[in-house]
Amino acid sequence: MKRQKNQSILPFIAAFATILVTGCGSTSLASSEGPIVLSEEERTFNILHNWDKVGMKNHLNAGTNVGPLAWFSVESLIQYVRSTDEVYYILAESVEHHSNSTSTVTLREDATWHDGSDYVADDMIAYYIVNQGQVTNYMTSLEKIDDKTVLINWKPQMEPNERVKTLLLAVDRAGAVQYDEFKTFVDEANRILTSSPQAPSGYTGWAPFGRIASQSNINDYMANYTAFKNYNPDWFVGTGPFKLSRKTETEMLLVKNEDYWAADSIKFDFIKATNSMNDLNQKYNMLSSGAIDYQDGLAPEATMNQILLNNPKMAHYKMFDPGAIGVVFNLAKKMQVNGVAQPIWTDKVREAFQYIFDREEVKNAGNPYAITSWRPLMTMAPSEAQKYMSPDKYAEIETFTHDEQTAANLLVEAGWNKADGWWYNGGTKVKLNIHYDGSHPGMSGAAVAVQAALTSFGIEAILKKGADFNSWFGTASSDAWAHELSICWTDLNMSFSFPTGSFIYAYKDITAKVLHLPRFTEDDPSTTVIETNGFDLTLDKADGSGTFRVIDVLDGMYYLNDDDLTEVVNDLVLGVSKKNYGIQFYQNVTGSFINIGKLGGVPLQDYLETSRNVTYVPNFEDDPDNFYAVARLNFHFAYAVPFISGDLYPARLDD
Q: Site residues for other proteins, window 634-653 (CB under 8 A)?
A: 636
Which lies closer to other proteins via its Cβ, residue 255 or residue 335? 255
CB of 7 to other proteins, least distance (A): 18
Q: How far apart are CA 244 and CA 257, in angstroms?
A: 9
Q: Give the up-direction half-sphere exposure of residue 384: CA atoms within 13 A in the CB hemisphere.
A: 31
Identify residues 145-204 at the interface with other proteins (CB under 8 A): 171, 173
Q: Is 303 a residue that touches other proteins (CB under 8 A)?
A: no
What x/- string results for residues 85 through 104 when contact with other proteins is judged by CB under 8 A?
--------------------
Q: How far apart are CA 86 and CA 286, in angstroms?
A: 31
CB of 404 to other proteins, least distance (A): 36
CB of 230 to other proteins, least distance (A): 6
CB 397, CB 574: distance < 8 Å: yes
Which lies closer to other proteins via its Cβ, residue 554 or residue 604? 554
Q: How far apart are CA 582 and CA 569, in angstroms?
A: 18
3-class DSSP state of 152: strand
Q: Is 467 a residue that touches other proteins (CB under 8 A)?
A: yes
Q: Is 330 a residue that touches other proteins (CB under 8 A)?
A: no
**Any idea what DSSP says for residue 654?**
G
Q: How far apart are CA 142 and CA 129, in angstroms?
A: 9
Q: How far apart are CA 330 and CA 315, in angstroms?
A: 41
Q: How far apart are CA 134 and CA 165, in angstroms?
A: 11
Q: Is 226 a residue that touches other proteins (CB under 8 A)?
A: yes
Phi-psi domain of 39 (left: phi exceeds 0; alpha: psi -120 through 50; beta: other)? beta
CB 93, CB 109: distance < 8 Å: yes
Identify residues 19-48 at the interface with other proteins (CB under 8 A): 19-24, 27
Q: Is 57 a residue that touches other proteins (CB under 8 A)?
A: yes
CB 45, CB 598: distance < 8 Å: yes
Query: Using CB under 8 A, which of 43, 148, 155, 247 touches other proteins?
Result: 247
Q: Is 468 a residue that touches other proteins (CB under 8 A)?
A: yes
Q: Is 277 a residue that touches other proteins (CB under 8 A)?
A: yes
Query: Using CB under 8 A, which of 278, 545, 561, 605 touches other proteins?
Result: 278
Q: Is 249 a residue that touches other proteins (CB under 8 A)?
A: yes
Q: Is 291 a residue that touches other proteins (CB under 8 A)?
A: yes
Query: How many residues interact with other proteins (rule CB under 8 A)?
Result: 72
Which lies closer to other proteins via its Cβ, residue 55 or residue 421? 55
Near other proteins by CB under 8 A, which window of 369-377, 408-416, 464-472, 581-589?
A: 464-472
Q: How far apart are CA 138 and CA 185, in angstroms?
A: 23
Complete DSSP assignment for 308-373 = HHH-TTEEEEEEEEEEEEEEEE-TT-EEEETTEEEES--HHHHHHHHHH--HHHHHHHH-TTSEE-
β-bridge partners, 574: none
Q: How far apart are CA 293 and CA 200, in angstroms?
A: 54
| Three-class secondary structure assignment of 20-52 | HHHHCCCCCCECCCCCCCCECCCCEEEEEECCC
Which lies closer to other proteins via its Cβ, residue 311 or residue 373? 311
Query: Using CB under 8 A, which of 94, 214, 219, 289 touches other proteins?
Result: 289
3-class DSSP state of 118: strand
Q: Is 14 a residue that touches other proteins (CB under 8 A)?
A: no
What x/- string results for residues 382 through 401 when contact with other proteins is judged by CB under 8 A?
--------------------
Query: How many Cβ atoms are within 10 Å of 581's Cβ, its own excluded?
Result: 25
Near other proteins by CB under 8 A, which window of 151-159, 455-463, 466-474, 597-605?
A: 466-474
Query: Using CB under 8 A, which of 143, 146, 180, 251 touches other proteins?
Result: 251
Q: Give the up-direction half-sphere exposure of residue 119: CA atoms within 13 A in the CB hemisphere.
A: 32
Q: Is 230 a residue that touches other proteins (CB under 8 A)?
A: yes
- Using a 10 angstrom Cβ sphere, with 0-12 exposed, 13-18 middle and 19 or more buried, the burial of residue 536 is middle
Q: Is 456 a residue that touches other proteins (CB under 8 A)?
A: no
What x/- string results for residues 523 through 562 when contact with other proteins is judged by CB under 8 A?
----------------------------------------
What x/- string results for residues 500 through 529 when contact with other proteins is judged by CB under 8 A?
xx--xx--xxx-------------------
- Helices 347-356 & 404-413 angle (0-180, nearest 10): 170
Near other proteins by CB under 8 A, which window of 191-199, 390-398, 498-506, 536-544?
A: 498-506
The type of residue at 119 is Y
Q: Is 494 a residue that touches other proteins (CB under 8 A)?
A: yes
Q: How far apart are CA 134 and CA 145, in angstroms?
A: 23
Q: How far apart are CA 361 and CA 367, in angstroms?
A: 10
Q: Is 70 a residue that touches other proteins (CB under 8 A)?
A: yes
Q: How far apart are CA 361 and CA 629, in angstroms?
A: 30
Identify residues 257-276 at the interface with other proteins (CB under 8 A): 272, 274-276
3-class DSSP state of 443: helix
Which lies closer to other proteins via its Cβ, residue 291 or residue 608? 291
Q: How far apart are CA 140 and CA 101, in angstroms?
A: 10
Identify residues 107-136 at the interface with other proteins (CB under 8 A): 133-134
Which lies closer to other proteins via its Cβ, residue 71 or residue 394? 71
Identify residues 410-429 at the interface with other proteins (CB under 8 A): none
Which lies closer to other proteins via its Cβ, residue 18 or residue 538? 18
Which lies closer to other proteins via its Cβ, residue 12 or residue 340? 12
Which lies closer to other proteins via its Cβ, residue 411 or residue 487? 487
Q: Is 225 a residue that touches other proteins (CB under 8 A)?
A: yes
Q: How far apart are CA 325 and CA 439, in angstroms?
A: 14
CB of 19 to other proteins, least distance (A): 4
CB of 76 to other proteins, least distance (A): 9
